[in-house]
Amino acid sequence: MNLLLESPTSVPYFTDVGAMLRAMGVAPIEFDWYISDIDTNIFVPGIPASDGWFTGSELASVLSHADLQFVWGVFSAVPPGMRFDVERSPGADGNSRYWQDDGTLAPELDGAVFELICWDSSATILIGITAEQARRFIQAYPEVKPLNMAATDPWRFG
């Protein structure tokens, strides 16, 4: 399931990745993470300058910093211990594929269970989440909508 949260009244800022994962019922330590195309509002030790792999514990440590906002970024969740060489990193900035979803869009990183995308400080996109994760997320943020509804919006840029 693919969802879009872009209501400015629902969250203090976009994107608080820790809050988004909690709303889905996901703990960072449940996965290894490939993190790419990252831009944040503050410098945080532990976030490398280039795309790369994080353990769940490493990501949890990064997310523990107060007021950490991810302006852009792709968080690709992979089963622990299933790391692989990444030929092409997923990207958020300038990636129009999210706005062309026909309901079948899958994570950009082959092998990812799901992806959480931070979109320009204005939205959070979830790709490939389970029905249970979607149910929890919708319960936390009732204004969330299916991504393919945004993709058919004639006013949507991209």
Over residues 97-110, the mean pLDDT reads 90
Over residues 42-64, the mean pLDDT reads 91
123-127/114-119 β-pairing? antiparallel
Over residues 9-25, the mean pLDDT reads 92
Tell me, yes or no, whether 23 lies in a domain. yes
52-54/114-119 β-pairing? unpaired
Lowest mean pLDDT among 42-46, 105-109, 120-124: 42-46
Tell me, yes or no, whether 99 lies in a domain. yes
70 has which bridge partners? 40
Over residues 60-85, the mean pLDDT reads 95
Tell me, yes or no, whether 156 lies in a domain. no
Tell me, yes or no, whether 157 lies in a domain. no
Residue 150 to residue 147: CA distance in whole angstroms: 5
Query: Looking at residue 152, what is its pLDDT?
Result: 59
* Torsion angle of the four alpha carbons 107, 19, 118, 112, in this order, in degrees rounded to the nearest 10: -20
pLDDT digits (tens, 9 = 90+) for 121-131: 999 999 999 99
Tell me, yes or no, whether 39 lies in a domain. yes
Overall domain count for the chain:
1
Tell me, yes or no, whether 72 lies in a domain. yes
| ω into 130 cis (within 30 of 0) | no
CB 124 within 8 A of CB 15: yes
Residue 71 to residue 140: CA distance in whole angstroms: 21
Answer whether residue 157 shows pLDDT above 80: no
pLDDT tier, 2 (very low <50, low <70, confident <90, very high otherwise): very high
Indicate the residue type of 114.
Answer: F
pLDDT tier, 12 (very low <50, low <70, confident <90, very high otherwise): confident
Query: Looking at residue 47, what is its pLDDT?
Result: 87
Answer whether residue 158 shows pLDDT above 70: no
User: When comparing pLDDT for 17 and 47, which is higher?
Assistant: 17
Domain that holds residue 116: 3-151
Tell me, yes or no, whether 77 lies in a domain. yes
Joined tokens for residue 75: 């968080």
